């Protein structure tokens, strides 16, 4: 099981990593890092601090709760704020649970295990977006129609690029973010300039919908749901 801890305290990260063994725990120290992590990998649980250096954990929870590609993820909010309004906000933003700091590690582990009951683990699920279905386990992408599913036969790198673009649909994704996603996913280092070649191959394999993968000059690339510019 993979858990993403979003908290700017490194000591907290070490405690959680030890306390939640044998689960794999990655730590993001900011919302920026958290977005890179979830775009590059697949997590079963997100432990989100309410107050982060670059924004609100509550807003981030709402952001991922609304995204169908992260619907499988169990979200637990963490905070030292004991004000009742904070608790209400945490439980209203799409989180499954709320834990006050400081907490006993046994309590955190028990709450994580409890909330995971009844959830399918992300490693064994497929997620749909528009006419595409992404199989995380086998890193395969299918076009779904009324007549069935067609395997797009993407390479692992193309799969990761496409999934990263889809996850941030209608928003530009820089080459740096794409490279980070590929590296974090399967430890493959590729040159920045080769991204253009992978994008070209991806557009051809996607077919008619390839026009939705647009170049955002000076920024990178984007998957847009209503392509108008390139």
Query: What is the torsion angle, in degrees rounded to the nearest 10, for the CA atoms of residue 13, residue 9, residue 95 and residue 112?
Result: 20
Would you state the structure tokens that stand for residue 109, as one six-digit string? 């582990």
Query: Which top CATH class is 2-122?
Result: alpha beta
The pLDDT of residue 38 is 86
The pLDDT of residue 124 is 47
Would you state the structure tokens that stand for residue 58, as one six-digit string? 């509550």
How far apart CA 84 and CA 89 sit, in angstroms, is: 9
Fold match between domain 2-122 and domain 126-223 = no
**Model-wide pTM > 0.75:** no
The pLDDT of residue 192 is 72
Q: Tell me, rounded to whole angstroms, the distance of Cα 129 from its chain centroid.
A: 14
Task: Enumerate the domain spans of the chain.
Answer: 2-122, 126-223
How far apart CA 168 and CA 216 sit, in angstroms, is: 13
- What's the fold here for domain 126-223? Arc Repressor Mutant, subunit A (1.10.10)
The pLDDT of residue 123 is 46
The pLDDT of residue 39 is 79
Q: Tell me, rounded to whole angstroms, the distance of Cα 80 from its chain centroid.
A: 25
Which runs of consecutive H residues, i.e. helices, occur in 20-155? 31-40, 57-66, 84-92, 105-116
How confident is the prediction along the chain (230 residues), in pLDDT tens digits per residue? 889 999 999 999 999 999 998 889 999 999 999 988 887 777 889 999 999 999 999 999 998 888 777 767 889 999 887 777 877 887 788 888 888 888 899 999 988 888 777 555 444 467 788 889 888 777 889 999 888 899 999 998 899 899 889 988 888 998 888 888 776 655 556 677 788 999 999 999 999 889 999 999 888 999 998 765 44
The pLDDT of residue 185 is 57
The pLDDT of residue 189 is 61
CB 57 within 8 A of CB 51: yes
CB 172 within 8 A of CB 230: no
Closest among 43, 224, 198, 205 to 130, alpha carbons compared: 224
């Amino acid at each position: 099981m993979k858990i993403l801890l979003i908290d700017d305290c490194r000591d907290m990260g070490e405690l959680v990593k030890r306390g939640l063994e044998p689960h794999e725990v990655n730590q993001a120290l900011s919302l920026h890092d958290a977005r890179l992590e979830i775009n590059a990998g697949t997590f079963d649980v997100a432990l989100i601090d309410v107050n982060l250096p670059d924004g609100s954990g509550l807003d981030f929870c709402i952001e991922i709760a609304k995204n169908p590609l992260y619907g499988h993820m169990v979200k637990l909010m963490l905070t030292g704020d004991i004000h009742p309004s904070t608790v209400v906000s945490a439980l209203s933003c799409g989180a499954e649970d709320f834990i006050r700091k400081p907490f006993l590690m046994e309590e955190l582990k028990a709450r994580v295990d409890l909330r995971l009951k009844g959830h399918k683990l992300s490693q064994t699920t497929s997620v749909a977006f528009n006419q595409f279905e992404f199989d995380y386990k086998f890193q395969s992408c299918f076009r779904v129609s009324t007549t069935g599913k067609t395997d797009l036969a993407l390479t692992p790198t193309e799969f990761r690029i496409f999934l990263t673009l889809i996850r941030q649909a209608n928003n530009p994704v820089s080459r740096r973010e794409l490279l980070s996603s590929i590296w974090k996913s399967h430890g493959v280092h590729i040159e920045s300039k080769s991204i253009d070649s992978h994008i070209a191959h991806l557009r051809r394999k996607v077919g008619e919908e390839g026009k939705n993968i647009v170049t955002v000059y000076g920024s990178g690339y984007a998957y847009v749901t209503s392509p108008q510019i390139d």
